[in-house]
Amino acid sequence: MKALDWKRGHVEMSHGAGGRAMAQLVEAFVEAFDNPLLALQEDCATFAAPQGRMAMTTDAFVVSPLFFPGGDIGKLAICGTVNDIAMGGARPLYLSASFILEEGFALSQLRAIVDSMAHTAKEAGVRIVAGDTKVVERHKADGLFIITTGIGQVETPLVLGASQVKPGDAVLLSGSIGEHGIALLSARELLGFEAHVHSDCACLHGLTQRMLDSGAQLRFMRDATRGGVAAILNEVARAAGVGVFVQESAIAVSQPVAAACALLGMEALEVANEGKLVAICPPEDAPRLLKAMQHHPLGEKASLIGHIEEGPRGQVRMQLAFGSCRVVPWPLGEQLPRIC
């Protein structure tokens, strides 16, 4: 059997069929993800369990296009799952990665994506210990889907969750919003101008660790992905049976993102991020939490954007820059499909 041609070759049905052809492809993944647990190539990886409590999360990535300013599906697949673990107050440890490949997908693109995953995982200090590869016929997928599942060790005694949120609590945001969604839009060439916006795609576990280390009594953390900040605030309002009140002027939106939103009639608050989080804590802890966030590179532009109120229950309201107030609705869906 001939060697894989990573420059000019393409994915074939046999690469997902459990035989020698698949083994060739899997060898390349194992080499890129370089770690002794995966190298065993058993059906499951075994390792010492975390101590105490652990966290588990999964995400399927179907982003289109696969490469965009500031990242690619591989980087996104690592960051997205690392972030979900981090939002649970846990330290990400091990990841699994499943690949669904479309017949005919260029091996050169697959190589670039796998290398990006390996690089991002290494930087984040997580190990990809289990994997799977499937191939489907042309037009039965869209190039490549990646599904990552992560587990981590909970290292905080805090109980985090939307249901922990109480009236009076402070609402913090880690930085400027809307960059991932607008970068995706520009990559799809749906914009009539060159937007110069890069996705904010990043692993946030360093930032959340800094936040936990601050000693603030965190009640809730969530990364603002699909549905943006608007979706998260509405979920909190609904889950905790509270009102959420935010100040538009406190929410950072970069000039190019604001311009793109204005042009396209989009709400920056509803646009997806991949490296921004919303945190909620008691009001007295807000200053030190904010300071901790601002001392981390991924939280430099963190701000206090509002607070929790008794009511109106389930509703998010925003005081606009010019003084009046409006309801921020729960998005029906994302304006942009396949953002992650």
Site for a copy of itself in 76-105 (CB under 8 A): 83-85, 87-90, 94, 96-100
Which of 62, 165, 251, 269 binds a copy of itself (CB under 8 A)? It is 62
Question: What x-and-dash track marks residues 168-207 binding a copy of itself by CB under 8 A?
Answer: ----------------------------------------
- For residue 107, the Cα-to-chain-centroid distance in whole angstroms is 26
Cβ closest to a copy of itself, residue 18 vs residue 283? 18
16 interacts with a copy of itself by CB under 8 A: yes
Residues 90, 154: contact at Cβ < 8 Å? yes
117 interacts with a copy of itself by CB under 8 A: no
Cβ closest to a copy of itself, residue 57 vs residue 303? 57
First to last CA, the chain: 36
How many positions of this chain bind a copy of itself (CB under 8 A)? 87
151 interacts with a copy of itself by CB under 8 A: yes
Which of 70, 71, 74, 131 binds a copy of itself (CB under 8 A)? It is 131
CA-wise closest residue to 166 among 282, 285, 313: 282
Residues from 203 through 262 that contact a copy of itself (CB under 8 A) = 222-223, 225-227, 231, 239
Cβ closest to a copy of itself, residue 19 vs residue 168? 19
| Residue 173 C-beta: closest distance to a copy of itself, Å | 17
Residues from 19 through 48 that contact a copy of itself (CB under 8 A) = 19-22, 40-48
CA-wise closest residue to 195 among 237, 258, 128, 121: 258
| Residue 43 C-beta: closest distance to a copy of itself, Å | 4
Contact stretch for a copy of itself (CB under 8 A) within 129-137, 243-251, 285-293, 311-319: 129-137
Classify residue 30 as exposed, middle or buried by CB count within 10 Å of its CB (0-12, 13-18, 19+).
Answer: middle
Classify residue 70 as exposed, middle or buried by CB count within 10 Å of its CB (0-12, 13-18, 19+).
Answer: buried
| Beta-bridge partner residues of 277 | 223
Cβ closest to a copy of itself, residue 120 vs residue 250? 120
CA torsion sign for 229, 84, 218, 216 is negative
Residues from 260 through 289 that contact a copy of itself (CB under 8 A) = 272
56 interacts with a copy of itself by CB under 8 A: yes
CA-wise closest residue to 327 among 201, 208, 243, 221: 243
8 interacts with a copy of itself by CB under 8 A: no
Peptide bond just before 312 cis, omega within 30 deg: yes
Angle between helices 73-87 and 107-124 (to 10 degrees): 30
74 interacts with a copy of itself by CB under 8 A: no
Q: Which long-range contacts (CB under 8 A, 24 or more apart) does 284-288 make?
A: 285/170, 285/216, 285/217, 285/218, 286/170, 286/172, 286/216, 288/214, 288/215, 288/216
Residues from 289 through 328 that contact a copy of itself (CB under 8 A) = none
